Amino acid sequence: QIRNLVLVSTVLGGILATLAILALAAYLLIRALNRLRGRVGVAWRFGLANISRRPASSVVQIVAFGVGIMVLLLLSTVRSDLLDDWQQSLPEDAPNHFVINVQSDQVAGITDYFHERGVTNTRLYPMVRARLVEVNGRPVRESEYETERAKHMVTREFNLSWAEDMQADNMLIAGSWWSSEDFGKPLLSLEAELAKTLGLGMNDVLGFDINGVVIEFTISSLRKVEWDTFNINFFTVVPPGVLEDKPANWVTSIYLDAEQRQQLGPLVRAFPNITLIDVETIMQRVRTIMDRVTLAVEFIFLFTILAGLAVLYAAIQANQDQRRFENAVLRTLGARKTTMALGLFAEFTTLGALSGLLAGLSATTLAWVLAETIFKFDYAFDLSVALTGVVSGIVIVVIAGMLGTRSVLTHPPIQTLREGAA
């Protein structure tokens, strides 16, 4: 359905690796429990012994619950914490409005309009629509590119812009920015990720079709761009003096406070062709969509929790006779029913705590991976996620486990021993 073998393989590999890591961690934790058995009371010793005697079953139960709780915690973290962290990473005066479709003869009027209302950081940028048709003299063909992003980029129109100085949120990683002596020369500064996607490099010659005329540009620099600042940025930038005679639209991003936002009506009436985009409204819509999608996925993964419960009940039923016999023998030797109940409580509390702990740590780690590799911003580890996982695991597993082992405690020991003898 996704039609992206690399993405599907990566996700599948990540799922299998996560399961393997959870299983290994669960097994090591169970082994570590053996060292605690001699340092705790009778009830806890009995509960830990139940886990240690059945390591394979215990690992399966921990992983089954851990995966479900982990995904729910991860979705909650991505939906709230990551989005909040990203928004908090933006400066308070980060642009919250875009103005697009501005014509060349309207640039001065719009700039003056904003300046009169205290918006002094207004800078409009030109955009010339062009299509990439040649690379080093060879025609560009969609079929020659493997990734969907590359195919999309070579079939869409580019927005060529010109600038005298490089923007502050751009960083050169190859080549050099042009000087005044280069104005008017067909040079091109290309965004580095796009260059990587299309297999382009320094000194490659790109031919762009602009209104039926092909103009060739030589790549003179590669830039790394911070796209999440909401400042205007471009994949392709050329020196001044090259495209000024071509039809251009202009665009800008600005920060407006609550009072200034109320004064946009006269601007739209004076320039009815422009388009205003409210970033805050869009972000709120994005958050709403994320909430709905996350709710749907959370509902699906509730079935994972139910599957964990099924695994737990299956494990309990598989060794129900053994549990009854152990309970009958210990009761005959003088153990009280309360002690046996506390032993079961200790067993399921430990299983739930281990499941929740692994789930919380895994969710936090995966959130960090997403923040670093996908969202590209810093993420602070939140121990409350692990604590939430531990509490959730204990509550779910203890309730389900105690309900599943009621017959162990209620079955008369003498009857169990007679049935065993028979």
Of the listed ranges 31-40, 58-67, 216-225, the one predicted with least confidence = 31-40
Q: What integer pLDDT is reported at residue 217 of this predicted model? A: 96
Q: What integer pLDDT is reported at residue 77 of this predicted model? A: 77
Instruction: Look over the chain and give the mean of its residue pLDDT values, rounded to a whole number.
Output: 84
**Taking residues 51-76, what's their average pLDDT?**
83
- In whole angstroms, give the CA distance from residue 371 to residue 246: 41
Of the listed ranges 21-25, 35-39, 49-53, the one predicted with least confidence = 35-39
pLDDT surpasses 50 at 5: yes
Encode pLDDT of 261-300 as tens digits. 888 888 888 899 999 888 878 777 777 777 777 777 777 7
> Torsions phi, psi of 286, nearest 5?
-60, -45
Write down the number of H helices and E strands in the chain.
15, 11
In the block, tokens 């001044």 appear at: 240
Encode pLDDT of 121-143 as tens digits. 788 999 999 999 999 999 999 88
Q: Percent of the chain beyond pLDDT 90?
A: 26
Q: How confident is the model at residue 37 (pLDDT cuts 50, 70, 90)?
A: low
CB-CB contact of 377 with 85 (8 Å)? yes
Encode pLDDT of 94-126 as tens digits. 788 889 999 999 999 998 888 888 887 788 999
Tally of CA atoms within 13 A in the half-sphere of 369 that contains its CB: 10
Q: What integer pLDDT is reported at residue 422 of this predicted model? A: 45
Q: What integer pLDDT is reported at residue 88 of this predicted model? A: 66
Pick from 226, 121, 127, 219: nearest CA to 170: 226
- In whole angstroms, give the CA distance from residue 113 to residue 24: 64
Q: Which residues contact 197 (CB under 8 A, 6 or more apart)?
A: 147, 149, 150, 153
pLDDT surpasses 50 at 30: yes
Encode pLDDT of 159-207 as tens digits. 999 999 998 889 999 999 999 999 999 999 999 999 999 999 999 999 9
Burial of 374 (0-12, 13-18, 19+ CB in 10 A): exposed
One-character DSSP codes across 243-271: STTS--EEEEEE---HHHHTT-HHHHHH-
